[in-house]
Amino acid sequence: MVILNRNDMELLLTMDEIINALEEGFREVKEGRSFVPVRFRLEVKEFEGEFLYMPAYLSGLKQSGTKIVSVFPKNPLIGKPTIYATYLLNDPATGELLAILEGATLTGLRTGGTSGLATRYLAREDSKTLGIIGTGFQAFYQVRAIQAVRPIETIWAYDIDSKRLKEFCEKVSPLGNIYPVSHPHEVVRQSDVLVTSTTSKTPVFSGRDLKSGTHINAIGAFRPDMREVDEETILRSKIVVDTFEGCLSEAGDLLIPMAEGKLKRESIYGDLGDLVTGKKRGRESQEEITLFKSVGFAMEDVVVAHRAYKKALQENKGQRIE
């Protein structure tokens, strides 16, 4: 069995490899060669926390595994992170445990890679300016992934936490010209590709500020009561989701306007699998505004974990235990 820690995960895979693995995974799902149950929650009331279990089995690719995420909001009071994550990769033919992977980095890589894949199909090919609203843990992976599919030269960034924004800009500076700004509209008005990666419950920018031809990756809001994009953005955009099942049960960006009667299910153009398999076209004009809404999907974890495991074997990386 192989153990892959955070550093192993960062060094093993390129973003191109991750995006290609995800493209293969979305094809498997769309063509019916997968079983991905809704994630299971185990509440721990005594300590005000919960465990999330996210299993997946891809029959065509012969890949199987489970991500276990714990969320304990009181942990910072004792100097520990709120969230821990671990991935267990199994051989679906025997049940053998093949690898244990550090799950937070895996989540960052696969979420970034999924945005990269959506950007490949939905952003203008000449997109050179990237905007980031919310510069926490996930934002760096978003930059790496989008730069893998578009010629991004300039990055504009905003965060309500000035310290976090400064740290992000320092980390990203080797990847391009980075401009921190004091208001979200400064980011939006500049962006060819815009990423929102916040935990906001209310819209973080005005859709009136979007220029024609913008592509948006809205990845932060993952509960029905969370919302990063406003009604104006929803109504102006061609909307693509990672999965209908996930977004129509968890994505407040869509569920809130649907509840208000301002968005219909039929108005959602398609899912990422539709684009990957060619069932629907991605961007169809230079002027249209496109929106990719993502809440995460267990298939994304297993294909990236399996790719990392196979490469670790090839390059003799990670820790091996009996």
> Which of 30, 67, 238, 311 is flagged as catalytic?
67
Q: Which two tokens stand for residue 42?
A: 């185990």
The candidate with the shortest Cα–Cα distance to 253, out of 231, 215, 227, is 227
Distance CA 32, CA 73 (A): 37
Cα distances from 312 to residues 98, 105, 285, 298, in angstroms, run 12, 16, 41, 21
What backbone phi and psi angles, to 5 degrees, belong to 89?
-100, 125
Distance CA 276, CA 293 (A): 16
Distance of CA 244 to the CA centre of its chain: 15
Is there a catalytic annotation at residue 67? yes
DSSP assignment string, 119-136: HHHHS-TT--EEEEE--S
Rounded to 5°, angle at Cα 308 from 304 and 313? 150
Q: Do residues 150 and 174 lie in contact, with contact meaning Cβ atoms separated by under 8 Å?
A: no
Instruction: Point out the residues that are catalytic.
Output: 67
